[in-house]
Structure 1
Amino acid sequence: MRVRAFSVAVVVLAIVATPATPGMAAVTDRAAMSSVSTPTAAPVAVPCPKAVAPKVTRSPRPTPPPSDPEHQVVGGDLLATPGLVVPPGAPVPPKVTATSWLVADLDTGAVLGGCGPHEYATPASVQKLLLAATMLPRLDPQQVIRVTREDLDIAPGSSAVGLLPGGRYRVETLWLGLLLQSGNEAANALARLGGGPDGAAGGVRAMNEYARHLGALQTHAVTPSGLDGPGQFTSAYDLALIARACFADPTFRRYALTERTRIPAQRGLGARGFQIQNENQLVYRYPGALGGKTGFTDYARHTYVGAAERDGRRLVVTLLGAEPRPQRGWEQGAALLDWGFRLPREAGVGRLVEPGEWDVARTPAPPSPAVPAPAGAPPVSSTTSAAVDDRPGAGLFVALTVGVSAIALAVVAARRVRASRRPRG
């Protein structure tokens, strides 16, 4: 009995003393994340086909944050490249001036190809799509609101619809002004309306929260309009996620395809009504166009998001950092859409993650049920345990302590068994 008890104790000691594999928790966490996989080796970047753009004087671009390896592989390992990624045997994509771009299927979520899909860039007015994706479900389009002077606090010379302080407009009018004319004052008003007690600041915070929910982990909004702000970035992949959320909304699709609308007169302010047109030329010039959004700032240069349908297939293109010559942004987008429609339906190099997928993947597992201590065992101080765990070699110390205790308990148990077998007088 003594040998058997000692053997059991040694087994307990061996199990307890076995060190945990470094990084095991991280590996388990990644395995549960279908949206993220860790690249096994850094691929050699294939140069993207580039069109030669005329030399322009441009503002120095802001310094992006350091790249997070996990964010680089959202949607698939092949997307973690600053260069070109296309399916095997695919035709060479058209030459564009954009520094990064991506083409994806709106319905299946398949990424058909891209250039630096996870490279940071500044968004300009395509950021208004994130505002739309966030606020469209929150706001009643028929509600009439009053525009404030704070709403008109935009950069001089930047795009505006022509809303007046004190003017009364339906929310739907604000959306049309935002998407057709890229109105920055409309963006401020919509962010204020949807931001709760914190106004526009609350609206921007909601935009960032929704971006993370979509899996757009490289997107950080500072302004609701896309006017440049320190720390404001996105990526071609993130824009595709945001665009997919927008085009899933039938109200957005109707707004995005509207060719013209009328801004109502403000009789109390002595102002006449006027007409505005959709600035996205894809709507007029590309068969099957579904709409999208244009953008430009000195930092961002030209940015573009566009979508179209052909033979029952809906594709979206996103591009960042483009120059308007030899082709304007929408024309570069149209050329990339043509390229995407030529690919087989089963082609792909990655996928657009589903809304909420990142949230589920990052949710920590519930704690394991506590194992009751042996009867008569002294209580363990949580403060003392935490202090011991932080010291070098603490794991070995705890393992030896538990092992010795197990041996002692086994020996005591063996003695009790022998004592119980002795004849009593």
Structure 2
Amino acid sequence: MAPFRIVAVTLSALLVSPVGATVTRTRAVAAPHRPCPTVEPPARPPATPSPPPVDPNHRAVGGEGLATPGLAAPRDAPRPPAVTATSWVVADLDSGRVLGGCGPHEHRTPASVQKLLLAAALMPRLDPTEVVEVKREDLRDLDPESSLMGVAAGGRYSVQDLWLGLLLESGNDAANVLARLGGGAAGRPGGVQAMNDEARRLRAYQTHAATPSGLDGPGQYTSAYDLALITRAAFAREDFRRYMATRATQVPEQRGRGTLAITNDNALLGRYPGMLAGKTGFTDLARQTYVGVAERDGRRLAVTLLGAETAPLGSLGEATALLNWGFGLPPDASVGRLVAPDGKDKDDRVVIAAGDGRGGGGDSSSLSPPFLLGLGATILLSVVLGATTFRRRNMRLPSAPRTTADVED
């Protein structure tokens, strides 16, 4: 009788649930594998260490349509552009819908897009008007050829100026100062711990920070999906949006360094229609990484990409192509969702919910009363016939401009 009781509970749950209610599964099921459209770069990238496997319990965060190392895209959508990026996501920041992605939960090295996590974690903690002194330890072990704001040891700078140097110039020195300030008595390690705490709060489970700047560190990873969560959290702040929209500013002279000219290095700002913000990154290990947000027809889409190569398009050209693809989809197209922080939304592995069925193996599909009754009848028939299990089977873009790489770190 045990099989009958299990099936009966399932049937009861289906029949008593009101139309449009959400029904959760207790076990994640991977989406069918579909290869990502890719283009081979002219030069093969250097070999990199194999990233750790994704925890199966985390692979379906945001919906089972995202539980794939391959392509996640709506069934009837145009084919996404072929890119060199090894993983990417396009998501709607306002609705939380994930429009598509390639290996959305795969571990990848972040480079300077990690600075968005620093901002999300520490902006709420730090007073932008406070003036702080840069310590010699903040500048220790920084390669002078890496991306720097240009602060001087002993110089005094406002926290607001440090945020501008971090986000516009991708200053690794500014990252160290801000992490030390935000870490309190624990100093810079405390700031990095705050970043990891924020990642857990956002449910960015593939993300682990080892450095505040995104310079390569042991065990430092993120994912395209996590970056979308982090971008959404940071972009909810007015001060973050204001900093990212700044084209250029100046920081007063300090200790003989002269006035610092700060220029936004997001080359798509003012060039791509509706571009609101962007952050580039590069290390030998991470290759090119990018996060961008653009608005068009009342929709704010974010693109996150990791592991891109300089040619043929570079990270900016690939981001442009992916944004064009996303804006070309219907507003309600979806293969998953950006989850809310702290688990305040439904179970990560929701697979049956009210919707229009546009998702290609995504987290929702339309359930009408006849469907529920038909499914229930089938289950009951299986029991009568002696079945012990029952399983329901889920059922050219404009060419992007050729762009040169932005080397940061």
TM-score (norm 2): 0.77
Give the residue type in structure 1 aligned to 2:246: T
Q: What does residue 68 of structure 2 align with?
A: 81
Q: What does residue 27 of structure 2 align with?
A: 38
Confirm or deny: 8 A CA contact 1:79 1:85 kept in the other structure.
yes
Structure 1: runs of 5+ lacking an equivalent: 1-20, 22-32, 363-425
1:106 CA drift (Å): 0.3
Confirm or deny: 8 A CA contact 1:123 1:233 kept in the other structure.
yes
1:239 CA drift (Å): 0.3
Q: What does residue 335 of structure 1 align with?
A: 321
1:172-199 per-residue CA deviation (whole Å, 9 max, x = no partner) reads 1100000111000100100110111101
Instruction: Give the greater-gyration-radius structure (CA).
Output: 1
Confirm or deny: 8 A CA contact 1:35 1:74 kept in the other structure.
no
Confirm or deny: 8 A CA contact 2:99 2:334 kept in the other structure.
yes
Give the residue type in structure 1 aligned to 2:35: P
1:311-343 per-residue CA deviation (whole Å, 9 max, x = no partner) reads 111000000000011112122111111110111
Q: What does residue 203 of structure 1 align with?
A: 191
Q: What does residue 63 of structure 1 align with?
A: 50
Cα distance change of structure 1 residues 255 and 99 upon mapping to structure 2, 3 Å threshold? same
Distance in 1, matches of 2:163 and 2:26, equals 38
Q: What does residue 311 of structure 2 align with?
A: 325
Q: Which has the higher helix share?
A: 1
SS at match of 2:241: helix
CA-atom RMSD, angstroms?
A: 2.5
SS at match of 1:283: coil
Distance in 1, matches of 2:256 and 2:142, equals 25
Distance in 2, matches of 1:209 and 1:194, equals 13
Pair 1:243 & 2:231 matched: yes
1:76 CA drift (Å): 0.4
Match of 1:186 among 174, 179, 184: 174
1:127-158 per-residue CA deviation (whole Å, 9 max, x = no partner) reads 00000001111111110000011111244221
May I ask how many residue pairs the two structures share in their alignment? 332
Confirm or deny: 8 A CA contact 1:36 1:76 kept in the other structure.
no
1:70 CA drift (Å): 1.1
Percent identity between the aligned chains? 61
Match of 1:159 among 125, 147, 152: 147
1:358 CA drift (Å): 6.7
Confirm or deny: 8 A CA contact 1:36 1:73 kept in the other structure.
no
1:301 CA drift (Å): 0.3
Q: What does residue 282 of structure 2 align with?
A: 296
SS at match of 2:74: coil
Match of 2:93 among 94, 102, 106: 106
SS at match of 1:340: helix
SS at match of 1:317: strand
Pair 1:275 & 2:261 matched: yes
Confirm or deny: 8 A CA contact 2:31 2:64 kept in the other structure.
no
Cα distance change of structure 1 residues 360 and 115 upon mapping to structure 2, 3 Å threshold? closer
Q: What does residue 137 of structure 2 align with?
A: 150
Give the residue type in structure 2 aligned to 1:323: E
1:369-404 per-residue CA deviation (whole Å, 9 max, x = no partner) reads xxxxxxxxxxxxxxxxxxxxxxxxxxxxxxxxxxxx
Give the residue type in structure 2 aligned to 1:350: G
Cα distance change of structure 1 residues 359 and 105 upon mapping to structure 2, 3 Å threshold? closer
Confirm or deny: 8 A CA contact 2:288 2:315 kept in the other structure.
yes
1:292 CA drift (Å): 2.0
Distance in 2, matches of 1:309 and 1:34, equals 33
1:37 CA drift (Å): 6.2
Q: Which runs of 4+ in 1 moved over 4 A?
A: 33-37, 358-362
